[in-house]
Structure 1
Amino acid sequence: MDIPNARSLHTRPTPRVGGWAVTPVGTLVILAVSRSLWPLAVLALFLGLLSQIDDRRGLPARYRFAGHLFAAIALVALRPPVDALWLAAPIVVALVWVSNLYNFMDGANGLAGGMAVLGFAGYAWMAGASHPDLCLAAAAVSAAAAGFLVFNFPGAKVFLGDAGSIPLGFLAGGLGYWGWQTKVWPFWFPLFVFAPFIFDATVTLLKRLLRGERFWEAHRQHYYQRMIGMAGAHTPVVLLWHLIMACGIALACASIALPGLWPLAVLAGWLLVLAALGWTVDRRWRHAPAY
Structure 2
Amino acid sequence: MSLSSFATIVASAAVAAIATALAIRYAHRRHLYDLPGQRRSHDVATPRGGGIAIVAAMIAGGVALAIREGRSDYLPLLLPPFLGVAWVGWLDDHGGLSALKRLAMHAVAAAWVCAGPLLLSWGIPIPDTHVDVWAVIAASIAMFAVVWSINLHNFMDGINGLLAWQAIFVFAALAVLFAWREGDGATLCMACAAACIGFLPFNFPRALIFMGDVGSGALGFALAVAVIWQVANDTIAAASGLVLCSAFATDATCTLLSRMLGGRRWYSAHREHLYQWLVRSGFSHARVVAFYMGWNVLVALPVALYMNRTPQIPMPAGLTPSVAVYTLAVAAWWVGKRWCVRRVRQRSAHAAA
Q: TM tier, shorter chain?
A: over 0.9
Matching residue of 1:125:
176
Unaligned stretches of 5+ in structure 1?
none
- CA drift of 1:22 comes to 0.7
Matches within 5 A, 1:73-84: 73-79=111-117, 81-82=119-120, 83=126, 84=134
Question: Bigger shift: 43-52 or 116-125?
Answer: 43-52
Structure 1 length-normalised TM: 0.94
Alignment partner of 1:62 is 2:137 = no
> In structure 1, what residue type is equivalent to 2:269?
A
Matches within 5 A, 1:266-285: 266-285=321-340
CA contact (8 A) 1:3 1:12 kept: yes
Q: Structure 1 residues 178, 37: closer, same or farther in 2, change over 3 A?
A: farther
Task: Give the paired residue count.
Answer: 290
- CA drift of 1:63 comes to 1.1
% identity of equivalent residues? 30
- CA drift of 1:131 comes to 2.6
**RMSD value over aligned CA atoms?**
1.7
Alignment partner of 1:137 is 2:188 = yes
Q: Structure 1 residues 242, 36: closer, same or farther in 2, change over 3 A?
A: farther
Unaligned stretches of 5+ in structure 2?
1-32, 67-71, 121-125, 127-133, 349-353
* Partner Cα separation in structure 2 for residue 53 and residue 184 of structure 1: 40
For residues 110-156 of structure 1, give each alpha carbon's deviation from its aligned partner in whole angstroms, at most 9, with x where no partner exists: 11010011110011111117234x11211111011111111111111
- CA drift of 1:184 comes to 5.2
Alignment partner of 1:99 is 2:158 = no
Larger of the two Rg values belongs to structure: 2
For residues 48-98 of structure 1, give each alpha carbon's deviation from its aligned partner in whole angstroms, at most 9, with x where no partner exists: 122101110211111111100000000011125341312221211111001
CA contact (8 A) 1:124 1:136 kept: yes
- CA drift of 1:28 comes to 2.2
* Partner Cα separation in structure 2 for residue 196 and residue 63 of structure 1: 28
For residues 213-247 of structure 1, give each alpha carbon's deviation from its aligned partner in whole angstroms, at most 9, with x where no partner exists: 11111101001111111134111111111111123
* Partner Cα separation in structure 2 for residue 135 and residue 54 of structure 1: 32
CA contact (8 A) 1:40 1:171 kept: no
Q: Structure 1 residues 2, 58: closer, same or farther in 2, change over 3 A?
A: same
Structure 2 length-normalised TM: 0.78
- CA drift of 1:287 comes to 1.8
Matches within 5 A, 1:1-291: 1-34=33-66, 35=72, 37-38=74-75, 39-79=77-117, 81-82=119-120, 83=126, 84-85=134-135, 86-128=137-179, 130-132=182-184, 134-183=185-234, 185-247=236-298, 248-257=300-309, 259-260=313-314, 261-290=316-345
